[in-house]
Structure 1
Amino acid sequence: MEEANSLISPDQTWILWAFLVGWAAISIVLENKYSWASKISGAIIALLGALLLANFQVIPLESPVYDAVWSYIVPLSIPLLLFSSNIVKIWKESGRLLIIFLISSIGTVAGTVAAFAIFKDLIPNLHLIGAMLSASYTGGGVNFAAMASRFEVPGEIVSYTVVADNLLMAVYILILITIPAIGIFRKNFNTPHIDEIEQNTGSDTNQAASYWKRKDVSLSDIAMAVGTSFAIVAASFTLSDFFAEIIPDDANVFLTILRGIIGDNYLMLTTLTLLLVTMFPKYFDNINGAQEIGTFLIYIFFVVIGVPASVVLIIQNAPLIFFFAAVIVLINMIISFTFGKLFKFSLEEIILTSNANIGGPTTAAAMAISRGWVKLVGPILIVGTLGYIIGNYIGVGLHSLFLSMM
């Protein structure tokens, strides 16, 4: 990309780091403090701030600082967000919810394949966009970041995909919130949590304030979270590079697939973290604050992806990507509600698992809290973290499938 003169030069490292980290912090504070910012989402605030400053030539379009975020910040965030993803614990504590979550994940895969078949001749680089969105619509922003980094997706594509995605999320969440008030859904689905609230109108309605309280985080928690994440990333990338070097990529189908799994940095990172969390659950359970640190790092990533965004390209490309993503979400919802009804899941369980797939576990938990479905908050957080694990595998797998369909 051709670099235009900007007020802040690419080599003013500390000023650029101050902007990236500072604006990420401001985006989070705004999202948590003001209702208007919450509706927009902190992610889009982070992206738009960088987009505006870049397009008005305040900050440079390229810098080694941005490269450092892709190379170090994104990989470090992945283990931190997976520390609570004990697959054994997920099954024991939320086995029933896990079933409908996996069904919803199948809906995401089916929706992405169908959407790709429809739009592949209309949207350039759709195999990259499909990989990012399928991973994100199974897990969350961390999977989107992993796929963007894994396939070295150009900044412009990442930016207008995020814009389209966030616009769709606003519509999608509004629909999910509205569904329980629609008579046909109340008539055809069980609604035990809604019924309980309606029978208990005198209960405390300020559940969000009581749930989202400060955690007890010590210096040793921060040290163990960050230190462990660094160690896991180092081990994962070293191992994946080693296997990619010794396994030929064109010997036979089996070795090619094996190389693609254990020779891939991000799949190795996901797999190794999952194994360690499952093998040493007490160690990871005793680390507080990892989720918060990992989320903050992802917000820095959101700032960076807004930097190279061209407003003209966003206007030209985001609308079609919006409809591509809408097809994925629509099919996810159709499959989730159809099989949810068939297997007698409650309306609340179906809504939250679809939300956990498309929006991530934190948005699903936030919806459960806001609606007063407090008994489902913990389970949906636990089950939703499974999406962080399988999202990267789905994104990489579909990317390969899409290349064969082009």
Structure 2
Amino acid sequence: MQAIGGIIVSQTLIQADDTITLWGILIVWASVSIYLEQRYSWASKISGAIIALIGAIFLSNTGIIPTESPVYDSVWGVIVPLAIPLLLFHVNIKKIWKESGKLLLIFLLSSVGTVAGTIISFFLLKDHIPYLDKIGAMMSASYIGGGVNFAAMAAKFEAPGELVSATVVADNLMMAIYFIILMIIPTLAFFRKRYSIPHVLEVESGSNNESGKTLAESFWKRKDISLKDIALSVGTAFLLVIISFKIAGFFDTLVPSGEDASILFNLLNGLVGDKYLVLTTMTFIVLGLFPRYFDNINGSQEIGTYLIYIFFVVIGIPASIPLIIKNAPLLLLFVFIIVLINMIVSLLAGKLLKANLEDILLASNANIGGPTTAAALAIAKGWKDLIGPILVVGTIGYIIGNYVGTLLGFWFSTMV
């Protein structure tokens, strides 16, 4: 990066304001990832999601594309919200509520893993990393909820800007690595022998019916779709996003939140003011009210999945390896310990509860990366019945994350 006339200019081959080129790269690489996954067995085993991630990490770390751009913000702000209802249009609502209870318990136990990991990591590294009390507050909140909680804790504890930036880079790199690990775990014999994997087996059994095709190609087989299907899918999804975000925005301003508000108001704000939770709820409501309408729409799952693959590319872009090596190698170690202990606690707790491996991995993913990345994992693996439940359960982390981060932050501040 270099400053010219007070403006920061990225020293990359493609500039951050080259909108059409960056959109083109995101879309082309997402398309290539899908093609490779469905064309070659090796790519199907790795998954298109990992190919998308690794390609993005390569492009950003070799200086071809910038690590920040308004284009990436648009993916988070428009593409991801649009994908959520599209992917829920053909979900079995009765099965959603049946699965959510079990997932919620595993998610809460996984959150205990985040707390334990943060405490252990803090005591191991508190003498080596400055402001680790503030970082601990930010990461514990983020690794239970998401980026919203990270920002809230950064503001609450008044963390220095350069510290926030370095932590974000470490977090992004760790999340990209962990997402790849989560994608690989269900393919390993060690875990397949020790955990029940009904959703994995369902997807794999579906592929056995069509020889010569990869797992992904068989799952995403050709379907009848019309122009009307595309219009109704995208139009309905956009309408739901607009209405839901307006409702969430209204309640977010109406219901007090923050340091001066009571716990009850903060909890209420987290429920009715969170746009993703409102969007998921609104989608469930209209699915229940107009089941025949959605049964007659084809292609929504395919369109939504394509949008999520664009999101996969964006996830990998901020993972700047040179920045971590130069500025914050110990921060990467700090978040690595948290993630490792979260994974261990999640797997052990899930084993004791005799939970499915898919539920455990999604619960851990929802903790570390938030509900949207957990839903993306479910989509990439073909676990379509778990997309809705993990979106619902994962949003609980937004509510409890700030409380955990605040408590740990105040406790840690007494020891630095």
Q: Same fold (TM over 0.5)?
A: yes
Write the mapping of 1:227-376 to structure 2, written as runs, cut at 5 A.
Answer: 227-249=235-257, 250-314=260-324, 316=329, 317-340=331-354, 350-358=356-364
Task: Name the CA distance, whole Å, in 1 between partners of 2:387 and 2:18.
Answer: 40
1:23 correspondence with 2:29: yes
Deviations 1:158-207 (A, max 9, x none): 531323313432563354x33454xxx5xxx99999xxxxxxxxx97959
Task: Name the CA distance, whole Å, in 2 between partners of 1:310 and 1:191.
Answer: 34
1:166 corresponds to? 179
Q: How many residues align?
A: 360
Report the more deviating stretch, 6-15 or 113-122. 113-122
1:371 corresponds to? none
The alignment partner of 1:216 has SS state of coil
Task: Name the CA distance, whole Å, in 2 between partners of 1:257 and 1:108.
Answer: 20
Task: Name the CA distance, whole Å, in 2 between partners of 1:173 and 1:191.
Answer: 8
AA partner of residue 389 (structure 2): L
AA partner of residue 172 (structure 2): S
Write the mapping of 1:51-90 to structure 2, written as runs, cut at 5 A.
Answer: 51-90=57-96
CA contact (8 A) 1:237 1:269 kept: yes
Report the CA distance between 1:271 and its aligned residue. 2.5
Task: Name the CA distance, whole Å, in 2 between partners of 1:245 and 1:192.
Answer: 43
CA contact (8 A) 2:88 2:387 kept: no
The alignment's TM-score, normalised by the length of structure 2, stands at: 0.71
1:382 corresponds to? 385
The alignment partner of 1:5 has SS state of coil
CA contact (8 A) 2:114 2:144 kept: yes
Structure 1 223/339 Cα, relative in aligned 2: closer, same or farther at 3 Å?
A: same
Report the CA distance between 1:363 and its aligned residue. 6.4
CA contact (8 A) 2:61 2:322 kept: no
The alignment's TM-score, normalised by the length of structure 1, stands at: 0.73
2:400 corresponds to which of 389, 397, 400:
397
Write the mapping of 1:28-177 to structure 2, written as runs, cut at 5 A.
Answer: 28-91=34-97, 95=98, 100-120=102-122, 122=125, 125=135, 129-130=139-140, 133-134=143-144, 156-169=169-182, 172-175=185-188, 177=189
Report the more deviating stretch, 286-295 or 223-232. 286-295
Task: Name the CA distance, whole Å, in 2 between partners of 1:221 and 1:98.
Answer: 30
Task: Name the CA distance, whole Å, in 1 between partners of 2:86 and 2:151.
Answer: 17
AA partner of residue 349 (structure 2): I
Aligned Cα root-mean-square deviation (Å): 3.9
Report the more deviating stretch, 107-116 or 354-363. 354-363
Task: Name the CA distance, whole Å, in 1 between partners of 2:182 and 2:196.
Answer: 26
Identity value in percent: 38
CA contact (8 A) 2:26 2:314 kept: yes
Structure 1 85/132 Cα, relative in aligned 2: closer, same or farther at 3 Å?
A: farther
Task: Name the CA distance, whole Å, in 1 between partners of 2:295 and 2:153.
Answer: 32
Structure 1 338/394 Cα, relative in aligned 2: closer, same or farther at 3 Å?
A: same
The alignment partner of 1:11 has SS state of coil
Task: Name the CA distance, whole Å, in 1 between partners of 2:45 and 2:221.
Answer: 21
Report the more deviating stretch, 252-261 or 385-394. 252-261
Report the CA distance between 1:254 and its aligned residue. 2.4
1:224 corresponds to? 232
CA contact (8 A) 1:243 1:263 kept: yes
Task: Name the CA distance, whole Å, in 2 between partners of 1:192 and 1:44.
Answer: 22
CA contact (8 A) 1:156 1:309 kept: yes
Task: Name the CA distance, whole Å, in 1 between partners of 2:292 and 2:36.
Answer: 35
Report the CA distance between 1:79 and its aligned residue. 2.0
Gaps of 5+ in 1: 136-143, 194-202, 341-348, 368-376
